[in-house]
Amino acid sequence: MNKAKKKFILYAVLAIFVLLTLLLGVINASVFTMAAHDADEITEIIASGKGKFRPEEGMVPGASEDDGREPIGPMGPDSPELFSTVRYFTVSFNTADESKEPKLVAYNISAVSEEEAVEWAKELKNEETGWTRGTYRYRVYERGKKVYVTVIDQGREMLTAYRILMFSVIGIALAVLLSWLFLRFAAKKVFAPVEEADRKQRSFIANAEKDFKLPLTVISANAELIDRANGPTDETRAINRQVRNMDSIVRRLGSLTAFEQEDLAKTEFSLSELVQLALDENEERFVAADIKLDRQIESGISLCGEQEAFMQLMRELIENALKYARQNACFRLFKEGDRVKLVASNGTELPNGSVDQVFDRFTVLANAEKGSVGLGLAYVKAITVRHNGRVSAAVEDGSFVLKLDL
Amino acid sequence: MKLLFAASDRDLLRCCTELLGREGYETDTAFDGVQALTKLSRGGCALVILSSDIQRVEPERIIEHCRADGLPVLELLSTPLTLKMLLSNSPANTYLELPFGPEELIGAVSDLTEKLASDTELVFDELSVKVSAFEMNGVPITAEETDVLIELEKGNYRPLGNNGTLVASLNGKFAKLGLRKRIEYRKNEGYRMVKKDE
């Protein structure tokens, strides 16, 4: 349940993060694009005046219907303050006579010296338009035999854009943090009914297991009494067979419940030998079922845990292989660093989308054998998790593979 | 030999009593804890079979009473046997988990009576086990634990399998007694009794 809760919080936070990033990303991209567009409008006005504003020659601020330019806001051509607020310089180059020195046509900027302005222009004269030194927008254009380089300072305008960007990043981080805090609280509320249902299910299983035991004992004893009085009949044999089946299910349920609730009786034991022994015990069954048993067991692997539980785990894996393997079953035990890996594959295919369900209690897949109750792999998972291990199932090359990481 | 079968389920009582009767055991029954204690105080029983689901009195109290009178108890469990049960101050002499087959019940009773009549005494240095008393240096042990010790004494190391809980319980009792002994699993050898510093 904790895992599901964590998953819920993770996915919800991730969704909020992605959504906010997309939204604010689009807003910020628009702000930067518009800033560049505004700057280009201004450099275009300057270009139309051959490198500077020429109000004395009839140049007026603002876009006109004739020139096709769009209004760009109070700081742009629409503003009567445009001529006095734009920080810019223009340098011209004589293309007909390259020996002539570049000429500073206009200079209305404080952050760049005249010498620097000429140097910048020399660097940029082969370009077209773009950003330089972070917040300076330039435009290179030809008028007659001259090439003009106009550079305007958009620092103050860009500052706003950068502030929006900064607040967006902070906003996203805060939103993620707050939503994580909120979701942690909300998850408790959201999962409360699910946890309650899960608790009830476990309690029901534990009680059912307990409540089944007594009737089974009584049925079995009474069948024995009938047998002893009248001799065995088909009916009492059937009763005994079904009692044995139920007994097996009840015992497994009991083990599963006890295993999840009781303390472990841990001892150091040889897992390599345990796996070998379990496979040895069942080798003839594999031969009888015409299944080739492939074992790759690294020797000398020890484990601290409940030995009985691991014996049961091996039995479950073997039963699983005997039930579902088509031609071969493979068991591998090896060490990878400090971790012990136990891999069981049985060459069988699983119904689509059922890999995640194989560990659920009472989950019987479409290809399951008749009589399966869906407890075997639930037990395998319970044992592994109680020993702080991980278990995963996958389909590799069309074959069902179970991996235990201990 | 007279047995007292104490269980709150009458069907269980009836069929088990009949099965035991056919094996030659005379069986008295008790439907709840109060009745069981009353019958026990009258005496005459050599062995008690007690269901862990007995009503009106906690089964632990009945076991304590039996232990005090030196009466062996076979406890029928509706939950799996745990380490906690084995390490409790008043464990039963043996346990049988439901559902059990008739032969298992008869086998358990017969094993218990055999042990009661046994004069075997196991000695492992400072460790002394009196089989008929179900005691190890004065600490109660179960029939199953006694079996593990008997095999260890014979040198028949227990194979890998279902002994983890019993071994853990015995090691817990060694520690409780302050003994410098442990049952350990040795590779290629199985379980064996070792000194702690060995």
pLDDT one-digit tens code per residue, A251-295: 777 777 766 666 666 777 778 888 888 787 777 888 888 888 888
Distance of residue B95 Cα from the nearest chain A Cα, in angstroms:
15
Mean pLDDT, residues B138-144 taken together: 89
User: Do A21 and A15 contact (CB within 8 A), yes or no?
Assistant: no
Indicate whether B27 pLDDT > 70.
yes
Q: Name the least confident of A318-322, B3-7, B93-97.
A: A318-322
Closest to B166 (Cα-Cα) out of B100, B77, B85, B74: B85
pLDDT class of A16 with cuts at 50, 70, 90? very high
Q: Helix/strand/coil (H, E, C) string of A126-151?
A: CCCEEEECCCEEEEEEEECCEEEEEE
User: Residue A296: is it exposed, middle or buried by C-beta count within 10 angstroms (0-12/13-18/19+)?
Assistant: exposed
Q: Residue A83's pLDDT is what?
A: 79
Indicate whether B157 pLDDT > 90.
no
Percent of chain A with pLDDT over 90: 22
H/E element holding B2?
Answer: strand B2-6
Indicate whether A364 pLDDT > 70.
no
Q: Residue A137's pLDDT is what?
A: 93
Q: Residue A368's pLDDT is what?
A: 58
Is A224 an 8 Å CB contact of chain B?
yes
Q: Residue A175's pLDDT is what?
A: 93
Whole-angstrom distance, CA of residue A15 vs CA of residue A315: 43
Kindly list the distances between the CA atom of residue A395 and the CA atoms of A205, A319, A400, A403, in Å, as whole numbers in the listed order. 30, 19, 5, 11
Mean pLDDT, residues B156-169 taken together: 67
Q: Residue A30's pLDDT is what?
A: 94
Percent of chain B with pLDDT over 70: 91
At A23-79, the pLDDT tens digits run 999 999 999 999 898 889 889 888 888 888 887 776 666 555 555 655 555 555 566
Closest to B160 (Cα-Cα) out of A389, A387, A251, A276: A276
The structure tokens listed for B82 are 């745990």
Mean pLDDT, residues A229-258 taken together: 80
Cross-chain residue pair B99–A265, CB shorter than 8 Å: no
Higher pLDDT, A153 or A4: A153
Is A299 an 8 Å CB contact of chain B?
no
pLDDT class of A302 with cuts at 50, 70, 90? confident
Whole-angstrom distance, CA of residue B17 vs CA of residue B38: 19
Cross-chain residue pair A218–B12, CB shorter than 8 Å: yes
At B36-92, the pLDDT tens digits run 999 999 988 999 999 998 998 999 999 999 988 889 999 999 877 888 888 888 889
- CB contacts under 8 A, A 237-256 vs B, are 243, 246-247, 250, 254-255
Percent of chain B with pLDDT over 90: 35
Q: Residue A8's pLDDT is what?
A: 87
Maximum CA extent, chain A: 129
Per-residue burial over A332-358, b = 16 or more CB atoms within 10 Å of its CB, e = otherwise: bbeeeeeebbbbbbbbbebeeebbeeb
Q: Name the least confident of A175-189, A319-333, B57-71, B150-164.
A: B150-164
Closest to B152 (Cα-Cα) out of B165, B140, B166: B166
Higher pLDDT, A140 or A188: A140
Inter-chain CB pairs, A–B, below 8 Å: 103
Cross-chain residue pair B167–A218, CB shorter than 8 Å: no
At B91-125, the pLDDT tens digits run 899 999 888 888 899 999 999 999 988 888 888 77
- CB contacts under 8 A, A 63-102 vs B, are none
For chain B, first and last CA: distance in Å?
46
Please list every residue in chain B whose beta carbon sits closer than 8 Å to the beta carbon of residue A300.
Answer: 187
Indicate whether A211 pLDDT > 70.
yes
Q: Name the least confident of A159-163, A354-358, A394-398.
A: A354-358
Whole-angstrom distance, CA of residue A335 vs CA of residue A337: 6
* CA angle, B94 then B95 then B98, to 5°: 155
Mean pLDDT, residues A238-249 taken together: 81
Please list every residue in chain B whose beta carbon sits closer than 8 Å to the beta carbon of residue A221.
Answer: 12, 15-16, 19, 102, 105
Indicate whether A92 pLDDT > 90.
yes
Indicate whether A317 pLDDT > 80.
yes
pLDDT class of B149 with cuts at 50, 70, 90? confident
Whole-angstrom distance, CA of residue B3 vs CA of residue B25: 7
Strand B26-30 to B2-6 pairing: parallel
Query: At residue A239, what are phi and psi to the nearest 5 degrees?
Result: -60, -45
At A111-147, the pLDDT tens digits run 899 999 999 999 998 999 999 988 999 999 998 888 9
pLDDT class of B197 with cuts at 50, 70, 90? low
User: Residue A202: is it exposed, middle or buried by C-beta count within 10 angstroms (0-12/13-18/19+)?
Assistant: middle
pLDDT class of A367 with cuts at 50, 70, 90? low
Q: Residue A123's pLDDT is what?
A: 92
Query: Tokens 């594999």 identify what position?
Result: A286
H/E element holding A270?
Answer: strand A267-270
Is A182 an 8 Å CB contact of chain B?
no
Whole-angstrom distance, CA of residue B21 vs CA of residue A349: 54
Please list every residue in chain A whose beta carbon sits closer than 8 Å to the beta carbon of residue B184.
Answer: 267-268
Higher pLDDT, A369 or B99: B99
Whole-angstrom distance, CA of residue A388 vs CA of residue B175: 27
Query: Tokens 């009680």 identify what position?
Result: A207
Q: Residue B154's pLDDT is what?
A: 78
What residue type is assigned to position A171 of the chain?
G
User: Do B88 and B70 contact (CB within 8 A), yes or no?
Assistant: no
| CB atoms closer than 10 angstroms to residue A276 | 18
